[in-house]
Amino acid sequence: MYEGMNEKQQEAVLHTEGPLLILAGAGSGKTRVLTHRTAYLIEEKGVNPYNIMAITFTNKAAGEMRERIDEMVGYGSESIWVSTFHSTCVRILRRFIDHIGFSTNFTIYDADDQKTLMKDICKRLQIDTKIYKERMFLNVISHAKDELIDPITFSLQAQGDYTKQRQATVYQEYQAALRSNNALDFDDLIVKTVELFKTDAEVLDYYNEKFRYIMVDEYQDTNTAQFELIRLLARKYHNLCVVGDDDQSIYKFRGANIHNILNFEKEFPDAAVIKLEQNYRSTSNILNAANGVIRNNVGRKEKVLWTENPVGDKIDFHQFDTAYEEADYIAMDIAKKVRTGKYRYRDCAVLYRTNAQSRLFEERFIVSNIPYKIVGGVNFYARKEIKDLLAYLKTIDNAQDDLAVRRIINVPKRGIGATTLTRVQDFAYEKEISFYTALKMADDIPSLGRSAAKIKPFVTFIQAMRSKLEYFTVSQILQDIIEETGYVRELEAEDTDEAKARIENIDELLTKVVTYEQSEENPTLSGFLEEVALVADIDSLDEDSDYVVLMTLHSAKGLEFPQVYLAGMEDGLFPSYMSIASDNPTEEIEEERRLCYVGITRAKENLAVTCARSRMIRGETQYNRVSRFVKEIPSELLAGTVAPEKKNQEEEQNSRRAEFAKAKSAFRAKPMALQQQSAPSRAFASASTGKITLDYQVGDTVKHMKFGEGVVTQIVEGGRDYEVTVDFQTAGVKKMFAAFAKLKKI
DNA sequence: TTAAGTTAAGTTTTT
DNA sequence: CTTAACTTAA
């Protein structure tokens, strides 16, 4: 079992008791160590799987580890907790948060919800959001929470500082609003769990006894609150194994505290430290390039990665005149490598600093017919149509969530406008009841007048759906919402590409619900909403499909690809202008450099580094020099070209513009089907070829996965799909969309 | 009072 | 180039 592991790796596996810090360089096989360690604990040390937990940052990482542990351990592995910080906390809070004054069916607010809530609070406190941005307050609050500073402490620290005092008031109000909405934001998930552990010794002891062996991945990214959480969990048995790499700490802006790794030995004086410095991932050229860059950072634990891998090709470096040429080159290079059979699409990844850079690549890839997938940008669950429908589900699930109710009260249009909403809100505020409760009492709000009549049908609808909750599945409820509100019908009537894309997203949401129902033993609406609240885009990457992946350097952490393109390597873009011009440029640029190190070390066989002399940013053309990081790569490792300075700038600019316009119109003219092929994960399977065909008709007996057998009583054509009505023997009459109901003719 | 149409402003990185 | 705020018409 331990064969093929190097000495250091074995040492890490065998060291099971007491605190352990594993400094694992990029590609040094840390996941392998963690999974083997788990297996060793169970099989050799006789530890009950129930007593083991592993914490990661993304669901994808958790899923991967789960899979590998399952393979190794076999029986009993399912009782090991393998999950992210956030879902671990949710799981604990769903059970015990009533000990600290919330109800266990709390909702989780994402960034959008937070902003809406904050806007509300600013209005109430008469703060002009043009001068003081909602985002600014939210950032301040988030940082306070990362450091476990509660509103009272914050306000104490704000003594004498007018700006800080105002922030303290906002923080206080914000927390109060969350509480009355029975909602937690992302940071609260951690903070409240810590609070729970600190106030309830019994609960803490329960988890101390349960989690006797704890492992934490990507430890360098933990913030103070997360560290405190781990410290509390490991308080009794001290069997804490953390794995991290200070050189890959890239989440300082999110509160990651690099001292957590640098000071681990101070916190736990009896800690053992093991360094994993042999890299198994990259060619030595790539690794040397990475070493050359990271060497320029001052505040780091000294270590040098080495490898026995072959030297490999030199690093391909090109400076282009414009960003279009850069995108062009990368598209052509990928096409060439796929054509010659060297790589498949999925072996290639394009990495960049900002999400905005993805657009150019997307356009080029469509023109060149290269299948691709963009990770990040607008999260699926942050899309308007998805948030609308989820808000309906949330309202049905937990009407204490004012935000959700207000989001959908006039979607679709019910003739309820801002004025009516303020009046209801005022009433609710005065009576200290929730917004939804106020809606139910619309008749008793005198200022409403005739508007009260418009509110009633909405309340009736929500109440009706709520009573259905007991007997119907989540997917059935969702379908009812879509049906009753006419959400999809409205989009169909719009008949634009955008509306079609939205309908597809809704279809995908329906598939996700059905998938959830099938995977879960006891599916509930709350359960589904929870799962949905904690997914990140990176989680949806699947290895089976063949497409080029485009993403930010941040999203790329933890992944590896044979062929990597680092695009936009320009001073001002990467390192970003923000970091160069900040108050503390040395520190911020070191963080950017670590990001660059992460980028380089994603590559296994081939690395291409590109940049452009000019590019459009926010409608303005910027002229940038080659990134300082490129210059830090030893020059003997580089091969490539630098674009000659062009004399006639303006003429160039104009022809470029024309070319761009052409590419854009081509982009628009492409039939939907092709665009979906390019981005398969966003497309709904049956929609890719347009209209689906049915092998059954009215009168036929069909079978449904959940509802069993039934007779088709009606088929209505709607856009690309059919709405099928079936009279089931056991479940009664149901209406459903053919594309996802997957009915089988018998 | 609502809803559509028009103009102005703003964009690092994210669980 | 997108999104939010403002204006104006119904």
Least confident segment among A112-116, A124-128, A683-687: A683-687
Angstrom distance (rounded) from CA A115 to CA A186: 13
DSSP A253: G
**Selected residue with higher pLDDT from A614 and A81:** A81
Cβ atoms of A244 and A220 within 8 Å: the answer is yes
User: Could you report the per-residue pLDDT of A342-366, keeping only the tens digit for each?
Assistant: 999 999 999 999 888 888 888 788 7
Residue A112 predicted with pLDDT over 90 = no
Q: Report whether A26 belongs to an annotated binding site.
A: yes
- State how far the Cα of A131 lies from the Cα of A171, in Å rounded to an integer: 17
Give the closest nucleotide to A450 (alpha carbon vs C1'). B1
Tell me the CA distances in angstroms from A301 to A27, A108, A292, A675, one per residue in order.
17, 37, 15, 47
Alpha-carbon span A548 to A564, nearest angstrom: 10
Name the residue with higher pLDDT: A539 or A86: A86
Computed on alpha carbons and rounded to an integer, the radius of gyration of chain A in Å comes to: 28
Which protein residues have their Cβ less than 7 angstroms from some atom of strand C? A 119, 129, 378, 618-619
What band does A610 get if pLDDT is binned at 50, 70 and 90?
A: very high
| Closest by CA position to A203, among listed A50, A90, A93, A103 | A93
Q: Cα–Cα distance between A12 and A24 in angstroms, integer?
A: 11
* Among the listed residues A486, A534, A495, A597, the one whose alpha carbon sits nearest the alpha carbon of residue A220: A597
Quote the pLDDT of residue A231: 93
Q: What is the mean pLDDT of residues A26-36?
A: 90
> pLDDT tens across A548-579, in order?
988 889 888 888 999 999 999 998 888 888 88
pLDDT per residue as tens digits for the range A59-77: 878 888 888 888 888 778 8
d(C-alpha A283, C-alpha A181), whole Å: 53
Closest CA to A505 of A382, A656, A592: A382
The Cα–Cα gap between A427 and A433 comes to 8
User: How much is the average pLDDT of A532-537?
Assistant: 73
- Separation of alpha carbons A232 and A547, rounded Å: 43
- The integer distance in angstroms from the CA atom of A632 to the C1' atom of B11 is 29
Q: What is the DSSP letter of A148?
A: T
> Which bases along strand B come within 7 Å of a protein CB atom?
1-4, 10-15
Classified as helix, coil or strand, A191 is: helix
Which chain C nucleotides are covered by protein, judged by CB under 7 A? Answer: 1, 3, 5
Output DSSP code: residue A576: B
**Which residues, listed in sequence order, are joined to residue A184 by a DSSP beta bridge?**
A108
How many other β-carbons are positioned within 10 Å of the β-carbon of residue A658? 9
Ligand-binding site membership of A558 (annotated):
no
How many helical (H) and strand (E) elements, i.e. helices and strands, does chain A have? 32, 23
CB-based burial, A383-403: b 16+ in 10 Å, e otherwise: bebbbbbbbbbbbbbbbbbbb
Q: What rounded mean pLDDT belongs to chain A?
A: 83
Structure tokens at A572: 């001002």
Protein-strand B interface by C-beta, 7 A:
A 57-58, 84-86, 111, 133, 135, 186-187, 251, 253-254, 353-356, 376, 379, 410, 413-420, 451, 534, 536-538, 551-552, 554-555, 576, 578-579, 582, 618-619
Query: A287-292 long-range CB contacts below 8 Å, 24 or more apart?
Result: A287/A601, A288/A634, A288/A637, A289/A315, A289/A600, A289/A607, A289/A633, A289/A634, A289/A637, A290/A26, A290/A597, A290/A600, A290/A601, A292/A632, A292/A633, A292/A634, A292/A637
Q: CB pairs under 8 A, 24+ apart, for A584-588?
A: A586/A298, A587/A299
Nucleotide nearest to A134 (CA to C1'): C4
Would you say A486 is a known binding-site residue?
no
- What the block records as the tokens of A244 is 């991290």
The pLDDT assigned to A619 comes to 64
* Residue A539: pLDDT over 70: no
Residue A476, number of CB atoms within 10 A of its CB: 19
Query: What pLDDT, on the 0 to 100 scale, is given for residue A242?
Result: 95
Say which range, A231-235, A339-343, A405-409, A691-695, has the weakest mean pLDDT. Answer: A691-695
pLDDT at A620 over 90: no
The reply to whether A27 sits in an annotated binding site is: yes
Where is mean pLDDT largest: A4-18, A110-124, A428-442? Answer: A4-18
Q: What are phi and psi of A503, to 5 degrees?
A: -60, -40
pLDDT of res. A443: 86
Is residue A710 a known part of a binding site?
Answer: no
Average pLDDT on A236-248 reads 92
Phi, psi (rounded to 5 degrees) for A419: -60, -45
Task: Show the CA angle centred on residue A512, arms to residues A65 and A365, nearest 5°.
Answer: 80
pLDDT at A361: 87
pLDDT for A603: 95
**Structure tokens that stand for A629 in this block:** 């990081």
Q: Is pLDDT at A676 greater than 80 in this prediction?
A: no
Q: Residue A492 and residue A462: Cα distance in Å, rounded?
A: 24
C1' of B9 to CA of A616 (Å): 18
Is the pLDDT at A421 greater than 70? The verdict is yes
Q: What is the dihedral of CA A331, A336, A342, A347, to 10 degrees?
A: 10
Nearest nt (C1') from A384 Cα: C3
Of A100-114, A246-260, A594-608, the range with the highest mean pLDDT is A594-608
Q: What is the mean pLDDT of residues A636-657?
A: 60
| Beta bridge partner(s), residue A240 | A214
Q: Using an 8 Å Cβ cutoff, are A261 and A244 in contact?
A: yes
Binning pLDDT at 50, 70 and 90, where does residue A119 land?
Answer: confident
Return d(Cα A332, Cα A89) in angstroms, integer: 46
Residue A228: predicted pLDDT = 94
pLDDT band, very low/low/confident/very high, at A725 (cuts 50, 70, 90):
confident
Closest nucleotide to A87: CA versus each C1': B15
Predicted pLDDT of residue A655: 53
User: Which pLDDT belongs to residue A643?
Assistant: 59
Protein-to-nucleotide distance from the CA of A655 to the C1' of B15, whole angstroms: 43
Cβ burial of A584 (10 Å; 0-12, 13-18, 19+) is exposed
Give me the mean pLDDT over the A422-449 stretch: 85
Residue A445 in this model has a pLDDT that exceeds 50: yes
Q: Å from A116 (CA) to C2 (C1')?
A: 19
Does pLDDT of A718 surpass 70?
no
Which residue's C-alpha is at the least distance from the C1' of C4?
A130
The distance from CA A504 to its chain's CA centroid, rounded to whole angstroms, is 20
pLDDT > 70 in chain A, percent:
87
pLDDT value of position A541: 66
| pLDDT, position A540 | 64
pLDDT band at A274 (very low <50, low <70, confident <90, very high): very high
The string of DSSP letters for A696-746 reads --TT-EEEETTTEEEEEEEEEEETTEEEEEEEETTTEEEEEEHHHH--EE-
- Residues of A that are catalytic: 30-31, 217-218, 248, 602
Tell me which of A194 and A43 has the higher pLDDT: A194
3-state secondary structure of A611: strand
Across the range A22-34, mean pLDDT stands at 91
CA distance A374 to A362: 8
SS (H, E, C) A35-104: HHHHHHHHHCCCCCHHHEEEEECCHHHHHHHHHHHHHHHCCCHHHCEEEEHHHHHHHHHHHHHHHHCCCC
pLDDT > 90? residue A193: yes
Q: Output the pLDDT for position A719.
A: 46
Contacts of A654 by beta carbon, 8 Å cutoff, 6+ apart: none
Confidence of residue A492 (pLDDT cuts 50, 70, 90): confident
Residue A746's pLDDT is 79
Output the distance from A457 CA to C6 C1' rounded to whole Å.
Answer: 31
Confidence of residue A707 (pLDDT cuts 50, 70, 90): low
Mean pLDDT of A404-411: 84
